[in-house]
Structure 1
Amino acid sequence: MRDRWRAIGVLAVALFAVNVVARLIIRLGFDGDDRAADRVSLGMFVVIGLILATVAFRWGGRRPVADWSGDLVVGVGAALLLTVLVGPLLTGASPFAGGAGTFFAQIWLYLAAAAAGVLLGYLLLTALGRDHRSQTLKRYAETRAAKPRRPVRR
């Protein structure tokens, strides 16, 4: 159980660290340039999606979807709260400085990037036949084919 929470915490911290790096790049390198800030933000969402695609690919091969999907939701939720509420404070801004529209737009974009990443990773895993269910069915088929058929006595 401890390893399970550790993995969730590492995921949340990694996703938050990507956001912090993106915010620092925008603040130090592109302060005042909105087009460059938008590109860095887009890059941040792409990196978040790729991280979650990798996590879904790795966790999906080891455990059933019902086991790891809850862990992923908790990790992404914690990272989202840190990103939206603590991230702006690290760069000297208020979480609600841009207004409610900007605040909720950031939440929706984050969730869209997360969902796209998880979907991409799991679909790739399933297409390759390396997901937990495919592996379980493969093992079942192999054990059924290995046992000789028993004749029925009457």
Structure 2
Amino acid sequence: MGQRWRAVGVLAIALFAVNVVARLVIRFGFDGDDTVADRVSLGMFVVIGLILAGVAFVWGGRRPLAQWAGEVASAVGIALGLTVLVGPLLVGNNPFAGGGGTFFAQIGLYLVASTAGTLLGYLLLTTLGRDYRSRSLQRYAETAVAKPRRIVRR
């Protein structure tokens, strides 16, 4: 059980670290340029999506969807909370400085990026036939086709 929460924590911290790096790049590199800030934010969401696609690809091959989907959702929820509430404080801003529209837009974009990344990784895994369920069905088909053992009477 502890291993599962460790993986959730590491994933949440990695997703939050991507946000912190993006915020620091915007703050110290391009403090007044909104166009570059938008591009860096878009890049951050792409990186978050790619991280989650990789996680879905790896975890989806090892365990059933019902096990790892909750862990990914927990990690995304934790990272989202940290990103929205703690991230602005690290660069000297108020989380609600841009107003409610900006606050909820950030939440929406984060959820869209994380959902799209996770779906992309899992759909690629399923398409390749390497997910847990496909491999289980393949093993079942192989054992069902195999000849039954002959019973020897003496």
Distance 2:55 2:95 in 1: 28
Percent of aligned pairs sharing the same letter: 75
Deviations along 1:59-97, whole A, 9 cap, x unmatched? 100111111100010000000000000000000000000
| Equivalent runs, 1:61-72 vs 2, <5 Å | 61-72=61-72
The alignment partner of 1:8 has SS state of helix
When the two structures are superposed, what TM-score results if normalisation uses the length of structure 2? 0.96
- Equivalent residue, structure 2, for 1:29: 29
When the two structures are superposed, what TM-score results if normalisation uses the length of structure 1? 0.96
Deviations along 1:112-137, whole A, 9 cap, x unmatched? 00000001000000000000000000
Amino acid at match of 1:66: A
Amino acid at match of 1:111: L
- Equivalent residue, structure 2, for 1:80: 80
| Equivalent runs, 1:91-102 vs 2, <5 Å | 91-102=91-102
Distance 2:147 2:85 in 1: 59
Aligned positions, number: 151
In the TM superposition, residue 148 of structure 1 has moved relative to its aligned partner by 2.5
In the TM superposition, residue 146 of structure 1 has moved relative to its aligned partner by 1.9
In the TM superposition, residue 145 of structure 1 has moved relative to its aligned partner by 1.6
- Equivalent residue, structure 1, for 2:112: 112
- Equivalent residue, structure 2, for 1:53: 53
Poorly superposed stretches of 4+, deviation over 6 Å = none
Distance 2:146 2:123 in 1: 30
Uncovered stretches (5+) of structure 1, i.e. residues with no partner: none
Distance 1:149 1:141 in 2: 17
Alpha-carbon RMSD: 1.2
Deviations along 1:29-61, whole A, 9 cap, x unmatched? 000100000000000000000000000000100
